[in-house]
Amino acid sequence: MLASVTSKVDMAAVLKPALFYLKQPVRVIRAYDNANLRADIIAGITVAVVALPQAIAFTLIADLPPKMGLYATIVGAIIGALWGSSDQGHTGPANAISLLVLSALPAMDVIGEERFVLAAGLMAVMAGMFQFLLGMARLGILVNFVSHSVVVGFSTGAGILIAIKQVGPLLGIKFPTDNILQAIYGFVTTVSHTQMETAVIGIGAIIILIISRRLNPRLPAAVISMVVATGAVYLFHLDQAGVDVIGHLPQNLPPLAKLPIFDLELIGTLSSGALAIAIIGLVQTSAIARSMATQTGQRLDSNQEFVGQGLANIICGFFSGYPVASSFTRSAVNLKAGAKSPFAAIFSSIFVLIAMFILAPAAAFLPTAALAAVLIITAYGMIDVEEIRRIWYGTPGDGVIMLVTLLGTLFLKIEFSVLIGLLFSLALYIMRTSTPRVHAVLPNPDFKHFTYQPDRQPCPQLAIIEIQGDLYFGAVSHVEETILTYLEEHPEQRYLLIRMHNVNHCDFSGVHMLENIIRVCEDRGGDMFMVRVHYRILKIFEATGFYDRLGEEKFLPEDEAISQLFYRTLDPAVCIYECPIRAFKECQNLPKRTVLNGISLLHDMHSDGITDVTPQKLWERLHDGHGEKLPLIIDVREPREFHRGHLPEAQLEPLPSILSDTIHFSQDQEIIFICRSGRRSRRAAYALKEAGISNVSILKGGMLAWEAAGLLEAID
């Protein structure tokens, strides 16, 4: 009984978001303001003027019958408007999607013309199912992982290919265009066979397009050029002179197609192309919707947009259309025409349907050369030179992705170029997230913020490391290696403070890495501390035992972290005698005894006659001397340092006393000076050398090196 109730509750939780997305038309209709009716109708008429010639032209790119473009325009715009998220977005045939369709479909002469058309519809259903399921699973965020450079590279390559493929219809010649090199060779060898009447129509249409746009960008340049070209064919009977024409357009509603949905072999053949169409369609639609939302202030729902695009493709496929996506041109026209709601796109479909019935007979004289002219101008607009320049010179990684996608589009099967671009985009994302910035920081001059200042010397005792990225399994190796390298380069820094405010996620690999850093710090005789750890990460630390391992007292409040470490942890003797800088606010009033008896402690002394003894050699002499006279070990650190750990044989005599008092060491006695790092012991040895005592050595690397070698210490 309980299991049954639980099952029902779980099922309701799963179905609730799905039903929410499917009820979008109800919300659109209920929210409609009648005051927007006039503006939406005007916008619908304006968009229809653009959509009608595009619907016909874009099907030429896909090598499909023009009627499929009209059906896709009518159905796609209505479904995309009712189930989509954007108020001004317009769904229908798109140039880049049409090129993908052509590339992904099996050759017509292989599977037959009727099956070729049905395969295009099936591909729309397959792409739509993928989009629909992503939306229902609320995975709309995935579109953010596709680099904008993929879209720019693909659009540029598609624009070039579309223009090249339309050169043949523009001039009335035929040559293969399977790849760009083949197309160039084919054009060079067949251009001499140009059909002059067709070329005049095509080039004339381009001239009309350019002049119309320059006179007034708001003019329907494509419609004007096509009307003029159609009139010329009709008046001069050019169709009888060899000029190719579209033929009759349908005068009926979109019919239901009998798609081969159970043909597994065909589905397998179309799968990669359908996936590429689905991805590019979603990326393009999302980019257009976001672009318009920045102008209108509308709040978008990526998941709802995925559902809308998925349903639009599915229904287009079943109603004799082919794959669709949001069009930038039609959406921009819709926005500029004053569209207030999704009903503007619905009205545009109605007007396209009316125009299709009225203008169908005229299509018998519509030359394909005029459509080729429209497509060439459209393809030119797809190449955004300024955007290409910004990407190439702005971000090298994105520039490489753009170039790879562009070259793949030109020289490989187009659907593969899209997938390659996506893989490179994903690789760039992984590379960026797996190599977060990890660097040492210091307070700025007013001690209010910590910043990266590579030209400043750090505190000789405390390293402050900032991690600017998540500590997940892919990044921990880079973070650990960077921190350990820094610690190796600064062996005198025993203590480490990690700033965690830019770390939003940490998995167990990150926890394990931090534990290793703690061990390294402890082996150096120091410790690790943390500041600004997010609440969620603290919970992970507690659950994994890391919180107890580091210790509650090591998680410091940001405003008090430096003060606590300065007064409770750092060695003041090092600050006074060995530190020439005042890195922290707390250092400003600290007395510095860096010059004693005229001898500077901040610069290296001449080491003539002063030898270095390694920790291992000194250990061997002290314990395996075979009866030889042992040297006098003098520790020149401060008493506090000495009592924390020293050589058992060492005598304490702080450096100030050596430099201030009369030298009382014997000339015949070998002396080895020891300090923390070797700086103070070298000063003491130099002072004795100046006093005429030459049998002096120092412990190389000081107590830091002794501890690193794991040798025995005495603690008072």
Same domain? For 485 and 524 the reply is yes
- Domain interval for residue 185: 4-29+36-428
> What is the distance between the alpha carbons of residues 270 and 125, in angstroms, rounded to a whole number?
11
Q: Are strands 599-600 and 595-596 parallel, antiparallel or unpaired?
A: antiparallel
Asked whether residue 590 is assigned to any structural domain, the reply reads no
Residue 141 confidence (pLDDT): 79
Same domain? For 377 and 306 the reply is yes
Asked whether residue 404 is assigned to any structural domain, the reply reads yes
> What is the distance between the alpha carbons of residues 345 and 77, in angstroms, rounded to a whole number?
6
DSSP string, 206-265: HHHHHHHHHH-TTS-HHHHHHHHHHHHHHHHTGGGGT--B--PPP-SPPPPP---TT-HH
What's the distance, Cα to Cα, between the start and end of the chain in Å?
Answer: 71
Domain boundary among 385, 410, 428: 428
Same domain? For 615 and 483 the reply is no
Same domain? For 83 and 191 the reply is yes
Q: ∠271-152-59 over CA atoms, to 5°? A: 55
Asked whether residue 592 is assigned to any structural domain, the reply reads no
Asked whether residue 633 is assigned to any structural domain, the reply reads yes
Same domain? For 462 and 566 the reply is yes
Structure-token pair, residue 491: 């062996």
Asked whether residue 326 is assigned to any structural domain, the reply reads yes
Residue whose token pair is 């000789």: 460
Which contacts of 241-245 are long-range, i.e. CB under 8 A and separated by 24 or more positions? 241/197, 242/172, 242/195, 242/197, 242/198, 243/172, 243/195, 243/197, 243/198, 243/201, 243/367, 243/369, 244/169, 244/172, 244/198, 244/367, 244/368, 244/369, 245/363, 245/364, 245/365, 245/366, 245/367, 245/368
CATH number, domain at 524?
Answer: 3.30.750.24
Residue 607 confidence (pLDDT): 52
Residue 332 confidence (pLDDT): 86
Same domain? For 574 and 691 the reply is no
Q: What is the domain count for the chain? A: 3
Question: Three-state SS for 715?
Answer: coil
- The closest alpha carbon to 461, from 593, 634, 641, belongs to 641
Whether the CB-CB separation of 290 and 143 falls below 8 Å is answered with: no
Residue whose token pair is 């340049």: 221
Residue 13 confidence (pLDDT): 58
Q: Is the pTM of this model over 0.85?
A: no
CATH number, domain at 652?
Answer: 3.40.250.10
Domain boundary among 530, 559, 585: 585
Same domain? For 98 and 223 the reply is yes
Asked whether residue 591 is assigned to any structural domain, the reply reads no
Asked whether residue 565 is assigned to any structural domain, the reply reads yes
Alpha helices in 137-176 (DSSP H): 148-171
Question: Three-state SS for 171?
Answer: helix
> What is the distance between the alpha carbons of residues 183 and 283, in angstroms, rounded to a whole number?
29
- The mean pLDDT values, 10 residues at a time, for the chain of 716 residues are 47 68 94 94 92 90 92 97 94 92 79 86 96 90 78 87 91 85 90 94 95 87 91 92 87 92 93 91 86 83 94 97 92 89 96 91 88 90 90 88 89 78 82 91 89 89 94 94 94 91 94 95 88 94 94 92 89 74 82 56 55 89 74 88 86 83 75 85 83 86 82 73
Same domain? For 523 and 631 the reply is no
Residue 292 confidence (pLDDT): 83
- Beta partners for residue 437, in sequence order: 468
CA-based torsion, 571, 577, 578, 579: positive or negative: positive
Same domain? For 503 and 603 the reply is no
- Beta partners for residue 465, in sequence order: 440, 498
Same domain? For 624 and 520 the reply is no
- Beta partners for residue 539, in sequence order: none
Domain boundary among 407, 428, 449: 428
Q: How far is CA 525 from CA 112, 491, 522, 528, 669, in A?
A: 79, 11, 5, 11, 32
Structure-token pair, residue 173: 């010649």
Residue 430 confidence (pLDDT): 85
Same domain? For 399 and 441 the reply is no
Asked whether residue 180 is assigned to any structural domain, the reply reads yes
Burial (CB count within 10 angstroms: exposed 0-12, middle 13-18, buried 19+), residue 679: buried
Same domain? For 605 and 555 the reply is no
DSSP string, 455-516: TSPPPSSEEEEEEES-B-TTTHHHHHHHHHHHHHH-TT--EEEEE-TT---B-HHHHHHHHH
- Beta partners for residue 439, in sequence order: 466
Residue 10 confidence (pLDDT): 55
> What is the distance between the alpha carbons of residues 684 and 699, in angstroms, rounded to a whole number?
12
Question: Three-state SS for 393?
Answer: helix
Question: Three-state SS for 560?
Answer: helix
Q: Are strands 495-499 and 462-468 parallel, antiparallel or unpaired?
A: parallel
Whether the CB-CB separation of 633 and 652 falls below 8 Å is answered with: no
